[in-house]
Amino acid sequence: MATFEGMKIPPEMKSYIKTTLEPLLEDMVTECLTDQPEDPIGFLLQWLEKQAGAKAKSDADLTAENEKLKQEIETLKGWQKDIGSAIKDEKTGEEEEEEEEDDDMELDEPPAAPARGNRQSVSAEAYGDWNKAKTDFTPPVHPKTDDQKASIMKTISGSFLFAALEDEQRAKVIDAMSEVTLTKGDRVIKQGEDGDFLFVIEKGACDCFKLMPGETEEKLVKTCAPGDVFGELALLYNLPRAASVQATEVTSCWRLDRETFNHIVRTAATEKREKNLEVLKKVPLLSAMEGYELGQIADALYSDSAEAGKNIVTAGEPGDKFYILVSGSAEAKKVISGEEKVVMSYTEGMFFGELALLKNEPRAATVTATSACKLLRLDRGAFRRLLGSVDQLLNVNYA
């Protein structure tokens, strides 16, 4: 979800964001992540057009229904007055006075539209009581062999969902996972149902099917292979299952429950985001960026480290990573006239590695840690998407 950290927003605007914009953005993200279209902008425009058409039809139907209700209410009021008059003609004294009071009473207003289901929106879960850490929470432990733990570690290592976990947190998540074996044709997830687990495929394969609005046949939207995660959208956004998932062969999965996910994985991601934002705010080049843009970068960063004397990037090698120095020091060296010379020194808050990504060229210099370094790393795809338009990068550094 988008965040607005650093922006001064009036209370009425915050209310509008929470009640009007957030539900729409949640639906857009879910649809886009489920279909994973090559042209997300075109896909979302078509989706918004359909939503606008459906809303217009719904509004028209609601207006007609309201008019019908008004007519029925007026008819009922007329009947009430007629009945009241007839009764008053037959009653006298105190009874007649009571009927006169009854005759003045209005019919009750029609009941309000029913609220949404028991599931709350993601805004409630992410920012309200759902997100308050429970100090007494203890994740479940499902016994595993060392080989199984090593296998799970390898399987989840490439998933962005678990990238923010520290070693201790990762160990707890692995302990909390339970094994699920699917046979060909088994549907482990059904579209529209509530979701309380995510799954990580260790062996085998699954297909994801989605029944589109107005259609009668499901559409294959994705195939999941070993290392892939599915079922996470229901946990991330607290929504019903957006698609169905069916095994195409005998498949071994590891299942993680909602509570463990929220208390460990989500919490770690939130803490990682906050720490990364603090670092990004100290980078002069990024200081003018809005809170939303910084938040996108913070979510895409990975933590890295280097001991003193270790090369972080090496001249001549392909460049596919951009680095921000969190702590420590480093220096860049180039061979000039047959002699290796220091061309740049780096300290906290400085960055390097951008030129190779922007120009799609090999590394122009070797950057070596001169003391123990902690770094944040942005991979090529995320760099070009989030920072590739920053012209100032072209004129700074040598790596």
- Res. 220: pLDDT tops 90: yes
CB 357 within 8 A of CB 380: yes
Is pTM beyond 0.75 here?
no
Confidence of residue 360 (pLDDT cuts 50, 70, 90): confident
Confidence of residue 99 (pLDDT cuts 50, 70, 90): very low
225 and 319 housed in the same domain: no
Short-list 188, 177, 196, CA closest to 250: 188
260 and 170 housed in the same domain: yes
Query: Cβ of 270: how many Cβ atoms within 10 Å?
Result: 14
Instruction: For the chain, give the secondary structure using H, E and C.
Output: CCCCCCCCCCHHHHHHHHHHHHHHHHHHHHHHHHHCCCCHHHHHHHHHHHHHHHHHHHHHHHHHHHHHHHHHHHHHHHHHHHHHHHHHHHCCHHHHHHHHHHHCCCCCCCCCCCCCCCCCCHHHHHHCHHHCCCCCCCCCCCCCCHHHHHHHHHHHCCCHHHCCCCHHHHHHHHHHCEEEEECCCCEEECCCCCCCEEEEEEECCEEEEECCCCCCCCEEEEEECCCCEECHHHHHHCCCCCCEEEECCCEEEEEEEHHHHHHHHHHHHHHHHHHHHHHHCCCHHHCCCCHHHHHHHHHHCEEEEECCCCEEECCCCECCEEEEEEECCEEEEEEECCEEEEEEEECCCCEECHHHHHHCCECCCEEEECCCEEEEEEEHHHHHHHCCCCHHHHHCCCC
pLDDT of amino acid 319? 82
Q: Does any domain span residue 93?
A: yes
Q: Does any domain span residue 39?
A: yes
- Res. 387: pLDDT tops 60: yes
CATH code where residue 155 lies: 2.60.120.10
187 and 79 housed in the same domain: no
The parent domain of residue 383 ranges over 281-395
Q: Does any domain span residue 22?
A: yes
Average pLDDT across the chain, whole number: 76
Q: Does any domain span residue 221?
A: yes
- Res. 181: pLDDT tops 50: yes
Q: Does any domain span residue 271?
A: no
Confidence of residue 175 (pLDDT cuts 50, 70, 90): very high
163 and 69 housed in the same domain: no
CA–CA separation, 23 and 26 (whole Å): 5
303 and 251 housed in the same domain: no
Domain tally, the chain:
3
227 and 321 housed in the same domain: no
CB 256 within 8 A of CB 200: yes
CB 356 within 8 A of CB 363: yes
294 and 251 housed in the same domain: no
Short-list 204, 223, 224, 220, CA closest to 212: 220
Confidence of residue 40 (pLDDT cuts 50, 70, 90): confident
259 and 314 housed in the same domain: no
Confidence of residue 113 (pLDDT cuts 50, 70, 90): very low
254 and 315 housed in the same domain: no
Of 103, 120, 138, at which residue does a domain stop? 103
Confidence of residue 161 (pLDDT cuts 50, 70, 90): confident
Of 103, 138, 164, at which residue does a domain stop? 103
286 and 388 housed in the same domain: yes
Of 237, 264, 291, at which residue does a domain stop? 264
Q: Does any domain span residue 273?
A: no
Q: Does any domain span residue 250?
A: yes
226 and 293 housed in the same domain: no
Q: Does any domain span residue 331?
A: yes
pLDDT of amino acid 89? 47
pLDDT of amino acid 9? 64
Render pLDDT for 366-377 as a digit per residue (tens, 0 to 9).
999 999 999 988
248 and 151 housed in the same domain: yes
- Res. 252: pLDDT tops 90: yes
For the ranges 6-20, 52-66, 116-130, 166-180, the maximum mean pLDDT occurs at 166-180
- Res. 270: pLDDT tops 70: yes
- Res. 129: pLDDT tops 60: no
For the ranges 25-39, 92-106, 356-370, the maximum mean pLDDT occurs at 356-370
Stretch 179-204: mean pLDDT, rounded? 94
